[in-house]
């Protein structure tokens, strides 16, 4: 059943200067490529709706038992022929708004940009194939985000400018090492090219779908716990529970911008943290 609600998903873009965060934002929200580099001062803001297929609770329970390769295959199918947006027994079609906070890569703006991390539900860690240091610094960016955020964000490490791979350009980061780093950090990896518009919509669909499915996980478990006080054994043993526990303090009500945007940035003020207390109840039910 398709929902009439259109959630807003705050997504932060972080990474060193000049890796392509603002260009990525412009490509996704305006469909253009900006060839010039103009460094971001503080935080910039843009948004766009994106249609996605979101698996329902039953389908999620089933896919929790799949291998990583099979999971990615299933996701690729969800991504395919996205224009035929019809809900089925397995998934619903939703059109969330992706609210992008494009954070400056220069460390002088860290105090400002980190305020915007707190309300986020998704994160893009961006580095460039032509900038070794931007790859090395990804661990720092990940640590900064983790320090500020209450919940685990759906996160993708993107290696931008990947169209230069194999073209004799000064490529300083190999695909396999970027993939290995993503694995170490426990996040998804995607090579992208903003210039060639490669993987851009897929990236945002992945973030949107993964977050919405996490919320469904949590809601489904919440219902189970509230109804019976104890989780079904099938759920507890399927890996479903572990995935849901990663949500921790995930807000059930999506954070919304509260006021007009502050100067000089065009971003809305950071939302306050929201806590549900759901996992306290979940843990209590499991102890019974």
Ligand X SMILES: Nc1nc2c(ncn2[C@@H]2O[C@H](COP(=O)(O)OP(=O)(O)OP(=O)(O)O)[C@@H](O)[C@H]2O)c(=O)[nH]1
Q: What is the DSSP letter of 230?
A: S
**Cβ closest to ligand X, residue 197 vs residue 276:** 197
Residue 172 is a binding residue for ligand X (CB under 6 A): no
CA atoms within 13 A on the CB side of 143: 5
Looking at 53, 55, 61, 161, which residue binds ligand X (CB under 6 A)? Answer: 161
Q: Which H or E run includes 103? A: strand 97-103
Judged by CB under 6 A, the chain residues 101 through 130 that form the site for ligand X are 104-106
Query: Among all chains, which residue has been given the structure tokens 């995935």?
Result: 243
The residue within the footprint of ligand X, chosen from 7, 28, 40, 173 (CB under 6 A), is: 40
Give the nearest distance from C-beta 173 to ligand X in angstroms: 13
Report which of 164, 171, 158 is spatially closest to residue 200, judged by C-alpha positions. Answer: 158
Residue 218 host element (H or E) = helix 200-228
34-42, 87-95, 252-260, 272-280 -> range binding ligand X (CB under 6 A)? 34-42
Nearer to ligand X, 81 or 167 (CB): 167
Q: How far apart are CA 115 and CA 117, in angstroms?
A: 6
Tell the smallest beta-carbon distance from residue 126 to Mg ion (Å).
Answer: 10
Partner whose binding site includes residue 62, from ligand X, Mg ion, none (CB under 5 to 8 Å by kind): none
* Site track 233-262 with ligand X (rule: CB under 6 A), x = hit: ------------------------------
The SS3 call for residue 9 is: strand
Structure-block tokens of residue 73: 């295959």
Closest separation between CB of residue 191 and ligand X, Å?
A: 10
Least CB distance to Mg ion at residue 32 (A): 15
SS3 sequence of 135-202:
HHCHHHHHHHHHHHCCCCCEEEEEEECHHHCCCCCCCCCCHHHHHHHHHHHCCEEEECECCCCECHHH
**Residue 63, contacted partner among Mg ion, ligand X, none, CB below 5-8 A by kind:** none
Partner that binds at residue 34, options ligand X, Mg ion, none, CB closer than 5 to 8 Å by kind: ligand X
Cβ(192)–Cβ(24) under 8 Å? yes
Stretch that binds ligand X, among 99-107, 179-187, 239-247, 261-269 (CB under 6 A): 99-107
**For tokens 């809305």, what's the residue?**
268
Smallest gap from Cβ 244 to Mg ion, in A, equals 35
- Residues of this chain that interact with Mg ion (CB under 5 A) are 21-22, 40
Give 37 or 252: the residue with its C-beta nearer to Mg ion: 37
Tokens of residue 198, six digits: 């490669």
Stretch of 88-96, 190-198, 246-254, 261-269 lying at the interface with ligand X (CB under 6 A): 190-198
Question: Residue 243: what are its φ and ψ, rounded to 5°?
Answer: -65, -40
> Residue 37 or 252: which CB sits closer to ligand X?
37
Rule CB under 6 A: is residue 193 a binding residue for ligand X? yes
Tell me the C-alpha distance between 146 and 18, whole Å.
23
Handedness of CA 23, 269, 99, 206 (dihedral sign): positive
Q: Which alpha helices (DSSP H) does 6-136 contain, by range?
A: 21-30, 57-63, 68-79, 110-115, 132-136
**Residues forming the site for ligand X (CB under 6 A):** 17-23, 34-40, 104-106, 160-161, 163-164, 193-195
């Amino acid at each position: 059943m398709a929902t009439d609600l259109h959630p807003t998903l705050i997504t932060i873009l972080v990474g060193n200067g000049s890796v392509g965060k603002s260009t990525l934002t412009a490509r996704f929200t305006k469909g253009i490529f900006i060839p010039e580099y103009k460094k971001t001062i503080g935080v910039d803001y843009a948004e766009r709706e994106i249609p996605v297929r979101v698996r329902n609770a039953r389908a999620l329970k089933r896919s929790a038992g799949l291998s990583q390769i099979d999971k990615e295959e299933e996701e690729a199918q969800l991504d395919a022929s996205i224009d035929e947006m019809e809900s089925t027994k397995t998934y619903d079609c939703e059109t969330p708004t992706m609210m992008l906070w494009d954070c400056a890569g220069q460390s002088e703006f860290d105090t400002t940009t980190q305020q915007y991390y707190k309300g986020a539900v998704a994160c893009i860690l961006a580095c460039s194939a032509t900038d070794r240091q931007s790859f090395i610094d990804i661990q720092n960016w990940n640590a900064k985000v983790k320090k500020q955020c209450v919940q685990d964000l759906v996160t993708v490490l993107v290696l931008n400018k990947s169209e230069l791979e194999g073209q004799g350009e000064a490529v300083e980061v190999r695909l396999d090492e970027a993939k290995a780093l993503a694995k170490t950090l426990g996040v998804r990896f995607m090579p992208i090219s903003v210039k060639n518009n490669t993987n851009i919509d897929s990236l945002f669909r992945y973030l949107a779908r993964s977050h919405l499915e996490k919320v469904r996980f949590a809601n489904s478990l919440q219902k189970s716990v509230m109804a019976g006080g104890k989780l079904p054994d099938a759920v507890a043993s399927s890996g479903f529970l572990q995935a849901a526990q990663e949500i921790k303090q995930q807000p059930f009500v999506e954070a919304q911008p509260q006021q007009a945007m502050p100067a000089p940035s065009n971003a809305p003020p950071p939302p306050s943290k929201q806590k549900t207390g759901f996992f306290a109840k979940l843990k209590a039910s499991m102890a019974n």
